[in-house]
């Protein structure tokens, strides 16, 4: 696709970083807190997930952070930005991977983390609910579970509904129920003119805005305040099953589990099944450096420990209710491939869907307190193509390469081991609801014909910077040409972005379904936000690509790596254990107050939320 040279919106507010500085006295009288660049608590307040990785790009430095107390604050902020011709970055949970919920220059950040927390059941049957967007997924999931209700959503409990619903809500129920956004009946949004409106699914007047907000480019069309969702009842899935198992890492096991996933991409595979493989690991040696995260992330959750493990989520949703009989064969194959591990949720017995949605949520704020280089690849390759190109062999090799698992040399370990967070999930097949829901074209999420999504994230310490770059560059060869083992095309998702300039990379994020989708979205933007109040950075639609063609993230990081001296920390000698030995060591380790907590101990009813977990280890 030819790149659009001209800006598709009238103005580019974020580019207007004039030397002129706004005086705080200029600001309207907000009821919520206002933090100004330069204030003592500024760095702590502007911390968000991407701070660890995009600090030097200077893209997470709003002139003011406005923590809106109520809707009046929100409208004042929008009107102020409009008058001053600056832009507003909207942040709810702050989880956007490339920092797009923040801004810099004279622009402001509107923090909605506490603004909209209302929750109302809309009918007696509790199948429709209206919620404010400031809920985290963990809180929202818990509220639904109180009534034995559920809806598909993503897997991180601290992600917030505000951004999550606009980027889709990709999660373990994707094949059986689709995306979170597929179940939105209507949403409430405040647009650049300061007006709030309800936008209703399938209502002709609202069609374009509904389409654009759900999937187009989060935060670019207005401030989302509430959503009304259709939710599901446990009782309609009376025999649902799930498997959550943790296995010690080894490459052959990853490959065997992936081979089963490839078989699952068969077009006729039933929609009841969902299957995700996660590989997590952190090096044996911790350099113990202070990072931006350890310094500024004030959340005092206990330190979760990630020995090299494979975590498997598999589920049978029992979509046809009583009429269906559970066949344990498919999940049985997974158990067999996993081998000797720890089964935490077993498909031998019925588990309600609402419980399973909690079981599929990782109860943590972030994977590792380190900077990251992220990749999400989506593939529409058939099972046959994946086999022909030996993808499972290739990708398990890439994961293995991310770590020098048992190097006898501690210095090698320190320089070459990356902390990995890998997640591979099946989405595909003609029966998949992810695919079926996409055919309605009510939302604008791209790549609905995806069979497998593969996330390869690496977190690194300074000594590993060159290594992480090389690792991801090699992974990139898995997509984007006719011989690539994963997919002929390079297809990316807004929720897992790693680019800083959206327009320059639009062909990776937007498909042609419907044709000229990106241009259509830009037209909606033009209608509702002609002067770019909601264009606070380059990861926004409608802008001309930046001058520099090269991956600016990589460029500046290389510079950083050259400038920094290689870490001089002397690693401690440790007994060398195999990955399997470490796994069982951790499974059996004595729990100490204030000590490390293995990931799986953070799960389950008794440990479900941080507070209880924290209390358990500190009292
Ligand atoms: C550790 C981790 C795990 C994740 N796991 C998953 C997963 O399993 N599945 C999945 O689908 N995604 C996942 N994500 C991605 C996440 O769902 C998206 O980045 C989501 O958009 C974050 O929403 P937020 O409100 O928490 O973040 P924010 O950074 O606040 O917002 C994200 C985007 O939405 C915009 N936005 C936020 N609130 C509003 C609002 N009220 N009105 C208008 N625009 C708004 C922002 O401007 C920004 O562009 C994960 C992210 C992280 C960091």
Q: Is residue 278 pLDDT above 80, yes or no?
A: yes
Q: Does the predicted model carry a pTM greater than 0.85?
A: yes
Mean local confidence (pLDDT), 140-149: 97
Structure confidence at residue 293 (pLDDT):
78
CATH of domain 25-111: 3.30.43.10
Q: What is the mean pLDDT of the chain?
A: 86
Inform me whether the pLDDT recorded for 495 exceeds 80.
yes
CATH code for the domain defined by 238-527: 3.40.462.20
Q: Quote the CA–CA distance of 518 and 516 in Å, as a whole number.
A: 6
CATH class of 119-234: alpha beta
Task: Give the residue, out of 68, 101, 137, with the most ligand 1 atoms within 8 A of its beta carbon, to mutate for a pocket test.
Answer: 101
Instruction: Give tens-digit pLDDT for 358-411.
Output: 999 988 888 888 899 999 999 999 999 999 999 999 999 999 999 866 666 767
Q: Looking at the chain, how many residues does it have? A: 619
Q: Phi and psi of 181, rounded to 5°?
A: -65, -25
pLDDT in tens, 582-597: 677 666 666 666 666 6
Residue of 249, 251, 263, 579 whose CA lies nearest to 394: 251
Q: Measure Cα distances from 398 to 368, 458, 466, 478, 498 in Å.
A: 20, 12, 16, 10, 19
**R_g (Cα) of the chain, nearest Å:** 23
Pocket test for ligand 1, best of 97, 98, 166, 297 (most atoms within 8 A of CB): 166
Order of strands across the sheet with 119-121? Answer: 119-121, 128-132, 223-230, 184-190, 196-200
The answer to whether residue 77 scores a pLDDT higher than 70 is yes
Ligand 1 within 6 A of CB of 88: no
Distance CA(276)–CA(257), nearest Å, equals 10
- Decide: 151 in ligand 1 pocket, CB within 6 A: no
pLDDT at residue 604, as a whole number: 53
CA 562 distance to own-chain centroid: 30
How sure is the predictor about 88, in pLDDT bands with cuts at 50, 70 and 90?
very high
Atom number in ligand 1 closest to CA 162: 38
For residue 69, what pLDDT is reported? 98
Q: Is the pLDDT of residue 188 over 60?
A: yes
Sketch the domain layout of the chain as residue ranges. 25-111, 119-234, 238-527
Q: What is the 194 CA–ligand 1 centroid distance (Å)?
A: 23
Ligand 1 contact via 49 beta carbon (within 6 Å): yes
Strand stretches in 18-92, DSSP E: 33-36, 64-67, 88-91
Residue 252 has pLDDT above 60, yes or no: yes
Residue 278: its H or E element: strand 273-281
Taking every pair of Cα atoms in the chain, the longest distance, rounded to a whole number of angstroms, is 69
Burial class, 107, CB count within 10 angstroms (exposed 0-12 / middle 13-18 / buried 19+): buried
């Amino acid at each position: 696709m030819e790149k659009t040279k001209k800006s598709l919106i009238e103005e580019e507010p974020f580019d207007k970083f004039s030397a002129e500085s706004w005086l705080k006295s200029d600001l309207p009288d907000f009821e919520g807190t206002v933090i100004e660049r330069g204030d003592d608590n500024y760095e702590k307040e502007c911390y968000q997930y991407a701070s660890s990785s995009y600090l030097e790009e200077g893209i997470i430095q709003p002139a003011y952070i406005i923590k809106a107390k109520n809707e009046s604050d929100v409208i004042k902020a929008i009107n102020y930005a409009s008058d001053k011709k600056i832009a507003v970055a909207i942040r709810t949970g702050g989880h956007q991977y490339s920092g797009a919920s923040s801004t810099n220059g004279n622009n402001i950040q509107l923090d909605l983390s506490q603004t909209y927390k209302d929750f109302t059941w809309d009918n007696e049957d509790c199948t429709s609910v209206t919620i404010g967007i400031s809920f985290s997924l963990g809180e929202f999931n818990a509220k639904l579970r109180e009534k034995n209700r559920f809806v598909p959503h993503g897997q991180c409990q601290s992600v917030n509904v505000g951004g999550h619903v606009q980027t889709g809500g990709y999660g373990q129920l994707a094949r059986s129920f689709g995306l979170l956004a597929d179940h939105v009946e209507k949403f409430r949004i405040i647009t650049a003119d300061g007006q709030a409106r309800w936008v209703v699914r399938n209502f002709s007047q609202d069609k374009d805005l509904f389409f654009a907000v759900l999937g187009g480019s989060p935060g670019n069309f207005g401030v989302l305040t509430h959503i009304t969702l259709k939710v599901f009842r446990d009782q309609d899935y009376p025999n649902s099953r799930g498997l959550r198992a943790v296995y010690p890492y080894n490459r052959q096991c990853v490959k065997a589990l992936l081979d089963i996933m490839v078989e699952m991409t068969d077009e006729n595979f039933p929609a009841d099944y969902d299957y995700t493989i996660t590989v997590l690991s952190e090096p044996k040696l911790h350099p113990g450096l202070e990072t931006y995260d350890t310094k500024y992330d004030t959340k005092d959750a206990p330190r979760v420990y990630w020995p090299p493990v494979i975590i498997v989520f598999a589920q049978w949703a029992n979509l046809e209710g009583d009429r269906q009989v559970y066949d344990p064969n498919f999940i049985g194959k997974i158990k067999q491939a996993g081998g000797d591990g720890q089964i935490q949720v077993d498909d031998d017995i019925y588990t309600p869907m609402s419980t399973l949605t909690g079981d599929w949520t990782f109860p943590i704020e972030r994977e590792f307190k380190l900077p990251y280089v992220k990749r999400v690849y989506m593939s529409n390759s058939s099972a046959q193509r994946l086999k022909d190109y030996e993808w499972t062999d290739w990708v398990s090799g890439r994961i293995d390469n991310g770590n020098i698992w048992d190097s006898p040399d501690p210095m090698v370990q320190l320089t070459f081991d990356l902390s990995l967070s890998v997640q591979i999930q099946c989405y595909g097949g003609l029966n998949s609801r992810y695919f079926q829901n996409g055919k309605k074209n009510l939302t604008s999420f791209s790549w609905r014909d995806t069979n497998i999504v593969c996330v390869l994230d690496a977190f690194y310490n300074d000594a590993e910077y060159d290594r992480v770059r090389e690792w991801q560059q090699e992974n990139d060869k898995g997509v984007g040409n006719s011989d690539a083992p994963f997919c002929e095309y390079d297809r990316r998702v807004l929720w897992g972005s790693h680019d800083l300039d959206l327009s320059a990379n639009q062909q990776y994020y937007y498909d042609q379904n419907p044709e000229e989708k990106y241009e259509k979205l830009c037209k909606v933007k033009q209608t509702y936000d002609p002067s770019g109040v909601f264009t606070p950075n380059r990861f926004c639609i409608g802008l001309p690509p930046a001058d520099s063609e090269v991956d600016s993230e990589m460029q500046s990081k290389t510079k950083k790596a050259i400038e920094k001296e290689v870490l001089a920390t002397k690693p401690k000698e440790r007994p060398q254990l195999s990955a399997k030995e470490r796994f069982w060591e951790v499974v059996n380790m004595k729990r100490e107050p204030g000590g490390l907590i293995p990931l799986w101990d953070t799960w389950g009813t008794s440990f479900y939320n941080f507070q209880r977990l924290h209390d358990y280890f500190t009292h």
